[in-house]
Amino acid sequence: MEEKDNLQELKIATLNSEQLQQKIDQESISWCEELIKDLEKFRDENKTWSQIWFSTYIIFGLIAVIFSSISAILTFSDFTNKFIPFSITFLSTVSAYILTFLNPSGREEKRRQCVKRSSALLEKVKTTKRLIGLKTEADILDKLSSFSDQFASLIEDSLN
């Protein structure tokens, strides 16, 4: 009788262990899916902002070059109305100011780096998601925790 009870307890423990493993795997997959969704959103937002800052850099760079060239040419012209040379010089100065103090090229580079880093992290998370059930729970949880820390660091870096 005692052997039968021990066997029954062993079956229950094994069943509970399998259920626990399934629950851990489900939660790990859910965590991966949420992290993947957040990383894709972060990557796409940074890609959009990278394009916006690149366009800003190009537009204001061209404006600065064109208006400074026109300003230089107008320096040698004899205008009775000084408003036109002043306006062109002013536009050249404003666009140079925007290029200097907004630093669109630097901002574009920073956003582009965020896109690269988030894409790399996204691939690692997708690979880990495929390995759930094949590796130990501790390995998976360590990786997921590391990925979450890396994503938090990535977000913090993008804000600076």
Structure tokens that stand for 120 in this block: 């790399």
pLDDT of residue 142: 87
CB distance 92 to 67 below 8 Å: yes
Domains contained in the chain, number: 1
Give the structural domain span for 18: 2-159
Question: Is residue 136 left, alpha or beta, with left meaning phi > 0 and alpha meaning psi from -120 to 50?
Answer: beta
Q: Which long-range contacts (CB under 8 A, 24 or more apart) does 100-103 make?
A: 102/56
pLDDT in tens, the chain (160 residues): 555 555 555 555 555 677 777 888 888 889 999 999 999 999 999 999 999 999 999 999 999 999 888 888 887 777 777 888 888 888 889 999 988 999 999 999 999 999 999 999 999 999 988 888 777 777 888 888 899 899 999 898 888 6
One-letter-per-residue 3-state SS of 18-80: HHHHHHHHHHHHHHHHHHHHHHHHHHHHHHHHHHHHHHHHHHHHHHHHHHHHHHHHHHCCCCC
pLDDT of residue 45: 96
